[in-house]
């Protein structure tokens, strides 16, 4: 879970790579935005406390960037902070927001921007409610309310090297985003070097953001079990260590029961016992930027050709009806 320590880490070392980038000239932004929106979102202005359109609104929906439309916050994480600005406990995804150290006005703060287009949103502070302890203080003029017609859920799996699992799940229709990271361990904010030591207890995992109207959790689990060998303990191929273990991290009891049911059903397809661990998700920590979108950014790497490509070929053969249209046409 995103917390203040992770925010500081992003502000000092760089934020996770965005799902997309949107770049326009100053004149192009002026044509798209009102004068107030341009002043706040592009010139880092601040609206007067209590004057924003979204201060007193709490209807369901998603809040998107006023400039590029990227989804930033879910209304379910909005709370009344008494600050005079709309406040949220967390973004829809860690890489939806860019975190920047701000030393203006004689203070040290963390500015938050849209990670896709660098629109100024506001600031984040460590005085919010549990469990994140964060308060994202956002200008109304930097946001637009999007009707909740694009339902979103998340699932967390680990099946060996996250470069492989990320590439597989990026191919599926209904999957909006895949973030590689670490979970299941006992220290906060682990680094890749630390988890490779095997001493942190974390596994390499992916967080899959998906639309349950297009693909269900049970379908994702079946593809997960088919995309790796769930019968080898702490190993996938040549990758060995507890960080490569097969694991499903569930967010509630319903997911836990579904995961156990599918694990039992999938046993019929394997001669050896499935050793996939199922446990409650406590924290998901996104991996470093160079581990995100690895296959798409490095298709010529030998690892991609030798290890990942066969997995994608198997996916296309077994689950063609679940592939995104642009993938199935390849």
Show which of 146, 176, 193 is a domain's final residue: 146
Same domain flag for 280 and 238: yes
Same domain flag for 314 and 178: yes
Domain that holds residue 279: 153-328
Show which of 116, 146, 176 is a domain's final residue: 146
Same domain flag for 141 and 159: no
Same domain flag for 164 and 28: no
Same domain flag for 170 and 308: yes
In the annotation, is 304 catalytic? no
Same domain flag for 317 and 273: yes
Number of structural domains (the chain) is 2
Show which of 146, 179, 210 is a domain's final residue: 146
CA–CA gap between residue 286 and residue 191 (Å, rounded): 9
CA–CA gap between residue 304 and residue 299 (Å, rounded): 6
Same domain flag for 64 and 193: no
Same domain flag for 232 and 169: yes
Active-site hit among 114, 117, 161, 164: 161
Which CATH number do you get for residue 235?
3.30.1060.10
- What's this model's pTM, rounded to 2 decimal places? 0.57
Over its length of 330 residues, how does the chain's per-residue pLDDT go in tens digits? 799 999 999 999 999 998 889 999 999 999 999 999 999 999 999 999 999 999 988 887 899 999 999 999 998 899 999 999 999 999 998 899 999 999 998 899 999 999 999 999 999 999 999 888 999 999 999 999 986 545 678 999 999 999 999 999 999 999 999 999 999 999 988 999 999 999 999 999 999 999 988 899 999 999 999 999 999 999 998 899 999 999 999 988 889 999 999 999 999 999 999 999 999 998 899 999 989 999 999 999 999 999 999 999 999 999 999 998 766 554
Same domain flag for 122 and 16: yes
Same domain flag for 165 and 58: no
In the annotation, is 68 catalytic? no
Same domain flag for 113 and 157: no
Active-site hit among 65, 117, 137, 304: 137
Same domain flag for 141 and 172: no
Looking at residue 326, its pLDDT comes to 66
Which CATH number do you get for residue 25?
2.170.150.20
């Amino acid at each position: 879970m995103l917390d203040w320590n992770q925010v500081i880490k992003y502000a000092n070392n760089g934020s996770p790579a965005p799902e997309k980038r949107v770049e326009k000239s100053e004149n192009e932004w002026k044509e798209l935005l009102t004068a107030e929106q341009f002043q706040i979102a592009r010139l880092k202005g601040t609206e007067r406390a209590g004057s924003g359109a979204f201060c007193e609104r709490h209807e369901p929906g998603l809040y998107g960037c006023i400039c590029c439309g990227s989804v930033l916050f879910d209304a379910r994480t909005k709370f009344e902070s008494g600050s005079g600005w709309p406040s949220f406990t967390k973004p829809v995804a860690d890489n939806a927001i860019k975190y920047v150290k701000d030393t203006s006005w004689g203070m040290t703060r963390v500015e938050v921007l849209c990670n896709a287009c660098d629109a100024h949103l506001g600031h984040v502070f460590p005085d919010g409610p549990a469990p994140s302890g964060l308060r994202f203080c956002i200008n109304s003029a930097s946001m637009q309310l999007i009707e909740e017609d694009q339902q979103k859920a998340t699932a967390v799996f680990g099946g060996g090297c996250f470069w492989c699992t990320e590439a597989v799940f990026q191919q599926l229709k209904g999957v909006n985003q895949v973030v590689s990271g670490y979970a299941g361990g006992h220290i906060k904010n682990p680094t890749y070097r630390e988890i490779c030591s095997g001493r942190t207890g974390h596994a390499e995992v992916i967080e899959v953001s998906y639309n349950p109207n297009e693909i269900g959790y049970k379908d994702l689990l079946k593809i997960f079990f088919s995309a790796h060998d769930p019968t080898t303990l702490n190993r996938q191929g040549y990758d060995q260590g507890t960080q490569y273990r097969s694991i499903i991290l569930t967010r509630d009891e319903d997911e836990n029961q579904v995961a156990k049911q599918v694990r039992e059903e999938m046993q019929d397809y394997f001669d050896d016992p499935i050793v996939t661990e199922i446990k409650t998700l406590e924290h998901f920590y996104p991996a470093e930027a160079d581990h995100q979108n690895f296959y798409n950014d490095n298709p010529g790497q030998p690892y991609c050709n030798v290890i990942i490509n066969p997995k994608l070929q198997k996916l296309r053969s077994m689950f063609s009806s679940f592939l995104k249209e642009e993938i199935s046409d390849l």
